[in-house]
Amino acid sequence: MPEQRKSFHQELDEIRDQIVELGALVREFIPRGTEVLLTGDMGGALALIDADDEIDALTLRVEEQCYNVLARQQPMASDMRSIVTAVWLTGELERSGDLMVNVAKAARRIYGATLDPRLRGLIERMSEEASRLISLSLDAYVERDASLGAALADIDDALDTIHGDYIEAIFDAHSADDLGLQPAVQLALVGRYYERIGDHAVNIGQRVQYMVTGWLPEQTGAARLRARAAFGDAADGDPSAEAPSDHEPIEDHDRPGEGPR
Amino acid sequence: MTITAALVIPTGTAVLGACVVLALVAVAVVALTRRTDRRVMARLGSSLDRLGLDTLTTSGDSAGHSSGDASLDELLSRIEQTLRRSRLAGEQELGAIGRLQEVLDTLPLAVMVVDASGTILERNIAAGAFIDARHSDALVGALVNELLAESLAGRPAERTLELFGPPRRAVDVITRPLGVNGMRCAVAIIEDITERRRLEAVRTDFVANISHELKTPIGAIGLLAETLQAEDDPEVADRLAQRIQMESYRVGRTIEDLLELSRIEVDETRVADVVEVGSILDEAVDRLRPAAEQAGVVIEVLGSELDDSLRCDRRQMVSALTNLLDNAIKYSDPEGRIEIRGAVGAEEVVFSVTDHGIGIPARDLDRVFERFYRVDQARSRQTGGTGLGLAIVRHVAVNHAGSVDVESRLGEGSTFSLRLPVSLLGSPPDPSPKEPQ
């Protein structure tokens, strides 16, 4: 029996190592794609798009291994959560890689357009922030650090702010006739890709919280819904009854960090 | 028992040999306490001989193969001596292994040896970075495993991994199959070649750039002169002459800067003048005032009131600041603003020049101090610089035991900081310091 547990834990470690490798591949993609975009390196764009296959293959491999372990070992509690988290993470990471492929494709579409230094600087900064967020989310995963996982949502605010400035800079450049409509639209999408990578990192942070504590931010919303339903039943047919949770501002996405219950 | 304790220390073949000897001793002791049978003794002796210990015999009469006659004392002393030798050999072996490990640890390369199951048999400290690693190092680790698997199958393998980081680096991984004592294993050597690549790039770029900077204007002068010879129209001739003049100024400036740079490189120890920090700032700004006005750029001076005296080569220091200011003006937008700042801190004296111009791309930041390095070839040609300014600044900083660094963001501007140690502050022991000329 102890022999079997040992091999099971080895399998868990293997899954973790592969997630780390997948994360490292995706993290490399971010500065690499940015360089392709800023230097107009078409060969680099093609190489990056091809290299995404590697990420896809690794994603499949990890997922398969996760299912395998689930089916064979029928893990419970935190072991179960570790594997479920790994499956989630493959999705988040693979998608982040795809977003950088989109950046490389955008680089092909805007080829020849000159970007003013301000835009280039903002792209560099978005790229650095996105790469930092992915790094931190992987740190949280490896160290099983739920509080770092929760903090990612706040850390992501910096990227959102730069993204806002960037969109403004695109408007400025376009209205000053320095940037055509087509590249302007492409660049706006590029900004969105970086911003989405940040969101994926925030998601990873939430999944890490789940892995460690068993709690998901969505549970706050679910609890609110239940409370509302219970309250609605009690005050049947009286929509004006005070339901304090109804009047709370609805957030874009539930912030983690409200703590497990 | 003491023998057993001593035997614990040596390793490898020494242990094996010593164990056999120990077993023999045990047999001997048992046998001898029961009955002092000469035949047993003889067999013991020949066993020792067979083990190759006959060459170690001490007494003269047992040098041959008649060890059956050896007395108990003699046998014991042979055994004892053999043990001592094997312990010594074990210790020497251990010492050699320890030394080898130390040598491995001092290597800048990461080295590891794995067996067929992938278990690490040996590794040095540097290799630790790639075990259970994260981020970029995890990718190096994955590549090492991949190549080691290939080498365990008997094929040597080698690949270079480009990592975008941050920080950006290039890593070479080399693996080779090994056959230690018939045991299948493989060695991996991991080398960070980032710095080597950078130096190679510096060298090749330098040669390309210097020939470009010198040959282009000289080629132009030659062609222009040739055209001038065949030109009758005085107006065109005049224009050609002007171009010749312009190009020759350009070569002149480049050569002047090259000479200045080599002078600064040679002048390493000359830190002779005593100047007030503020006056260095003022002098540099005064020199560049006309250029700034022409470009419509405002220079703001902070710290010109500083009267701390600084021991430095005044001419070099002013030249460094002038170069920084000159760059700041060239790369500022019209109506831009430049701040030049002097500050005396607890640990260093900092001169910094901040502009709000186009900025420098992140990937060029660590190369701008190289001779002739240009971020944007086309633009640099327009601004008319020689491409040596920042190399001069760096050498001035180094001559004064200081450093220069740059922070920049595209579209937001750059700040160059020249940092000097506070030990340069105050008057020199020499009572008659040179007057600033």
Residues A59 and A117 in one domain: yes
Nearest CA in chain B to A118: B411
Is A151 within a domain?
yes
pLDDT digits (tens, 9 = 90+) for B77-111: 888 888 888 899 989 988 988 898 899 899 889 99
Number of domains in chain B: 4
Residues A107 and A85 in one domain: yes
Q: Which ipTM did the prediction report?
A: 0.78
Q: Which of residues 142-181 of A touch B (CB under 8 A)?
A: 142, 169
Could you tell me if A168 and A88 are in contact, meaning their C-beta atoms sit under 8 angstroms apart?
no
Interface contact B166, partner A, CB < 8 A: yes
Could you tell me if residue A259 is inside a domain? no
B145 touches chain A (CB under 8 A): no
Give CA–CA dist B175/B161, Å, rounded. 14
Same domain, A114 and A243: no
Q: Tell me, yes or no, whether A62 lies in a domain.
A: yes
- How far does CA A257 lie from the centroid of its chain? 17
Q: Do A124 and B409 touch (CB under 8 A)?
A: yes
- DSSP strand E in B98-230: where? 110-115, 120-123, 157-163, 169-180, 183-192
pLDDT digit string (tens) for B233-276? 999 999 999 989 988 888 888 888 888 888 777 766 566 788 88
Residues A74 and A107 in one domain: yes
A125 at B interface, C-beta within 8 A: yes
Which residue among B142, B359, B363 sits closest to A117, beta carbon to beta carbon?
Answer: B359
Is A242 within a domain?
yes
Locate A170 and state its tokens.
């695109």
- Sign (positive or negative) of CA dihedral B1, B3, B9, B12: negative
Judge whether A60 lies within some domain. yes
A162 and A36, same structural domain?
Answer: yes
Residue B437 lies in a domain: no
Q: Which residues does chain B have within 8 Å of residue A116's beta carbon, measured at their own beta carbons?
A: 411
Residues of A in contact with B412 (CB under 8 A): 118, 121
Same-domain check for residues A234 and A126: no
Q: Does B410 touch chain A (CB under 8 A)?
A: yes
Contacts of B137 in chain A (CB under 8 A): 24
A99 and A73 both lie in a single domain: yes
Low-confidence ranges of chain A (pLDDT < 50): 1-4, 238-261
- pLDDT category, B30, cuts 50, 70, 90? low
Q: How far is B412 from chain A (nearest CA, A)?
A: 7
Q: Is B135 on the interface with A (CB under 8 A)?
A: yes
- Do residues B287 and B406 share a domain? yes
For A20, other C-beta atoms within 10 Å of its C-beta total: 22
> Residue B30 belongs to what domain range?
6-102
Domain count, chain A: 2
Encoded tokens for B235: 């107006």
State which of B266, B298, B326 marks the end of a domain. Answer: B266
pLDDT tens digit sequence for B125-172: 988 888 888 888 899 999 999 999 999 888 999 999 999 978 889 999
A57 and A172 in a single domain? The answer is yes
- Looking at B239, B266, B293, which one is the last position of a domain? B266
Interface test with B, best of A20, A34, A114 (most B CBs within 10 A): A20
Q: Which residue in the set A116, A131, A135 is minimally distant from B411, CB to CB?
A: A116
Tell me: do A229 and A194 sit in the same domain. Answer: no
Residue B1 in domain:
no
The model's pTM is 0.70
Give CA–CA dist A184/B305, Å, rounded.
48
Of B142, B164, B410, which is closest to A120 when you measure between CB atoms? B410
Same domain for A187 and A97: yes
Pick from A21, A23, A32: which is nearest to B164 by CB? A32
